[in-house]
Structure 1
Amino acid sequence: MTVRNKGAGDYDHLVPFNLLSDTGLGGGGHTAFGSGSGSTGMQVDLATDDYGRSHRCTVTVDPNNEIAEEDESNNVLSLRVSLPTRPKQAKDVFCTLI
């Protein structure tokens, strides 16, 4: 995903984000603002029982409201990821916005 600064102000630090799922998966990190053409990968560590099921994930940018914004309501994105059974090698899995 790409995190964009649509406001008039500048922010010269990396932006924090977190990712949480309804099944207990979680992760987070920091990213720079993008122009829409680049993206930041977000990942979580998977256990054996995380495969073969659907995960509803919530991504929150600036989760602690450290960045002063005119509109704080656009910092959350919900998506669904359906993982196949555990593959024997690396495999791309796509998500759907919900």
Structure 2
Amino acid sequence: TGRHDAARIDRQLYGRAARQGDPGSHITFVSLEDDLMRVFYGRKLRPFIAITAWGRGWVPGFIARPLVNLAQWASERRNSGIRKNLLKADGSLEELLAFSGRGE
């Protein structure tokens, strides 16, 4: 599987690779066409990747890992902001409905 918006989901999936006391392993493949990478970086990263992967066809983990981690961090912050705004709007709506006298 590829990387997800939340690192927590990735850690859960990696943990499932080893169950019942047996050792496990995981390999992660990331593409610039994955939603996470496309939404965060767009086309800005393509020239850098082309130079880094030149002659190999892949990017070393010590370069790719921080790029993916940064995209996940930004995605988690964006989603956190969305949840915070939704909670605020829900509170405002609840207050408005309580003021108008309509309850559940």
TM-score, shorter chain, exceeding 0.5: no
Between the two structures, name the one with larger relative contact order (CA 8 Å, sep ≥ 6).
Answer: 2
Where is the helix percentage greater, Structure 1 or Structure 2? 2
Determine which structure has the larger strand proportion and give its number. Answer: 1
TM-score (norm 1): 0.24
Query: What TM-score does the superposition give when structure 2 sets the normalisation length?
Result: 0.23
When Rg is computed on C-alpha atoms for both structures, the one with the higher figure is: 2
